[in-house]
A and B are shown apart, each in its own frame.
Chain A
Amino acid sequence: MSLKNKLHTLKEKYKGTKMAPAFNAIHTFLYLPNETTHGGTHIKAADDLKRTMNIVIMALVPCLLFGMFNAGFQHHAAVNGFTEGMSFFSSEFWNLENFLIGAAKILPLVIISYGIGLGVEFLFAIIKGHEVEEGYLVTGMLVPLIVPIDIPLWMLSVAVIFGVVIGKEVFGGTGMNILNPALTIRAFLFFAYPTWMSGDKVWVTGAVEKTGAVDAISGETILGSLAQGKEMVYSTWDMFFGFVPGSVGETSTLLILVGALFLIFTKIGSGKIMLSAALGALAMGLIFNGVVDQGWIEESSKFYSLMSTPFWHHLLIGGFAFGAVYMATDPVTASQTNKGKWIYGFLIGFLSIMIRVFNPAYPEGVMLAILLMNVFAPTIDHYVVQGNVKRRKNRLKVKTA
């Protein structure tokens, strides 16, 4: 008997019992259900929630793999010194040793994220008697990519439970949440355990244990060092390729761009939001550059080095690109209307850079900017829709008059 049939028998056996949603979930995750729709169905589409989610996961896989190589590479770079001027396919980066160091660190993060998160989802499905929703599939993949590599696993577990329960289940599960669950998890970690989420020790694996030792290593993110007014050691190409310290999967702007094109091509992610977020970031960056050019700010100011960063660098450094492509476009929490998407995306970009520059305590503004705009997305939609209603009413008035 094939696995599918076995699952089907189990499903029939537990039909109507409390455990039914759990078996149904495994069944529908792996196979198409045996049931077909009865009655007059005229529209057939293959892009159900499960497939949508899987396409986003496919777009994330390059970032995950890159993150594994980068983890090993950063570790070696911190110990032996950084190689400058590498090309993207340099064998110094893409070698098995780097990959193994990264995989040993990152796979547990992925497993914890999916294990705990799906566990909570299954639990709620069983208690509440509804079907398990696929919404966590993407969140579970995003979470390991947006945390520092050395984050203790128990912290991640606590945060995942918090994020899934408070960020999603209390609102009624997938499709009802106000805030992006992955970012809720990250925000929880950030406010609860700030020493593990920022500073110069957490971004390179092994740095925390070696603190104070003779062979101590450290690796600061570009944003972290800029916020402290230090000189930048990485070239623009390093930042674009992603050979820099940072959260696990967000460093490579190149691969994020590839993912973005893939999402736009498959019509899963909203190109409008991505583009307008980039525009918003550039606009804010230009304003800050203008302020510096006008000489309105002293070189001794603590905002100077971040403000004088060339405006287009803001797209490359930090998690901005990752947030704009994979998290701002979350269809549940983003604006739904076309005009709303432009406003929503633009404000995310604009606020990200503003927070980034003005608040050195939160070097990465994109997380807070997206969460804030998540809250405002329904308001934006409301006014866009009302504006449309008003315009059409006026048009009608002109016609009848």
Chain B
Amino acid sequence: MGLFKDSKLITDPLADNNPITIQVLGICSALAITAELEASIVMSVAVLFVLGVGNVVISLMRNIIPSKIRIIVQLVVVATLVIIVDLVLKAFAYELSKTLSVFVGLIITNCIIMGRFEAFALANGAWRSFLDGLGNAAGYGLILVIVGFFRELLGSGTLLGIKVLGDPIEKTGAYAYGYENNGFMLLAPMALITLGIIIWIQRSRNNALIED
């Protein structure tokens, strides 16, 4: 029954308390790596792993961490997990790890992770912290995937590398009718604008989210 009772821990960050669109955390990576859907997905999974495991570890240690050095302890935990992710990526998906480049390492500085450690894992039990980590990482991933979907589709005409709109050079599919890829979509400003549009839609559907 624990899962049922705490299900809000997972559903809240997906919508009304989304770490990106409501708390506006983790924007940096959301802008940098969302030009391709695949990179967005891998990044989401990486954050899901780091945040889920990290939250549990911090939660288990919460009573023995001296509060004066808690940030350092949190950093050590996060850095360890990120290195694991980085090495796994390099071993099994080398090309992708090159696309993501420094941004895997920069998961350490992702505000969402330190934010959840500080705000939740230090004050809650392991199971609840685990759910909270999953929820927040999923909320982060959801936005990344949405942004990545539109940026890759409109910017390169592909999805996960598959040419869904036809071939731009041989002029097949939509390109035969004069359609062209929108180069602006691949630039970071357009990621910010896409994100802004998501925030706009979300807040106009739920007026309670609008702050003064």
Contact = CB atoms under 8 A, between A and B. Distances in A.
B180 A193 contact: yes
B180 A155 contact: yes
A191 B193 contact: no
A147 to B, nearest CB: 15
Contact of A152 (B178, B184, B187, B193): B178
Given A152-B178, A154-B178, A166-B193, A194 B200 contact: no
Given A166-B193, A170-B200, A191 B187 contact: yes
A192 interface: yes
Given A166-B193, A170-B200, A191 B180 contact: no
A152 B182 CA distance: 13
B193 A193 contact: no
Nearest to B197: A166
B183 A194 contact: yes
Contact of A191 (B178, B179, B184): B184
Interface in A183-233: 188, 191-196
A373 to B, nearest CB: 18
Contacts of B193: 166
Contacts of A194: 183
B200 A192 contact: no
A193 B183 contact: yes
Interface string A162-178: 00001000100000000
Interface in B169-212: 178-180, 182-185, 187, 193, 196, 200
B184 A188 contact: yes
Q: B178, B179, B184 — which one has the most chain A CB atoms within 10 A of its CB?
A: B184
Interface residues of B, number: 11
Nearest to B182: A192
Nearest to A166: B193
Contacts of A188: 184
Interface string A147-164: 000001011001000000
A158 B182 CA distance: 10
Contacts of A193: 180, 182-183
Contacts of A166: 193, 196
Contacts of B200: 170
A212 to B, nearest CB: 14
A152 B183 CA distance: 16
A154 B180 CA distance: 10
A90 B178 CA distance: 38
A196 to B, nearest CB: 8
A155 B181 CA distance: 10
A193 B193 CA distance: 17
Given A166-B193, A170-B200, A192 B178 contact: no
Nearest to A170: B200
Contacts of B179: 154
A155 B184 CA distance: 13
Contacts of A192: 182-185
A108 to B, nearest CB: 14
A152 B175 CA distance: 13
Nearest to B189: A191
A170 B187 CA distance: 21
A195 B187 CA distance: 16
Interface string A134-157: 000000000000000000101100
A19 to B, nearest CB: 20
Nearest to A128: B204
Contacts of B180: 152, 155, 193, 195-196
Contacts of A155: 180
Interface of A: 152, 154-155, 158, 166, 170, 188, 191-196
Interface of B: 178-180, 182-185, 187, 193, 196, 200
Given A191-B183, A192-B182, A196-B180, 20 more contacts: A152-B178, A152-B180, A154-B178, A154-B179, A155-B180, A166-B193, A166-B196, A170-B196, A170-B200, A188-B184, A191-B184, A191-B187, A192-B183, A192-B184, A192-B185, A193-B180, A193-B182, A193-B183, A194-B183, A195-B180
A-B pairs with the 6 shortest C-beta distances?
A: A192-B184, A191-B184, A192-B182, A192-B183, A152-B178, A193-B180
16 contacts: A152-B178, A152-B180, A154-B178, A154-B179, A155-B180, A166-B193, A170-B196, A170-B200, A188-B184, A191-B184, A191-B187, A192-B182, A192-B183, A192-B185, A193-B180, A193-B183
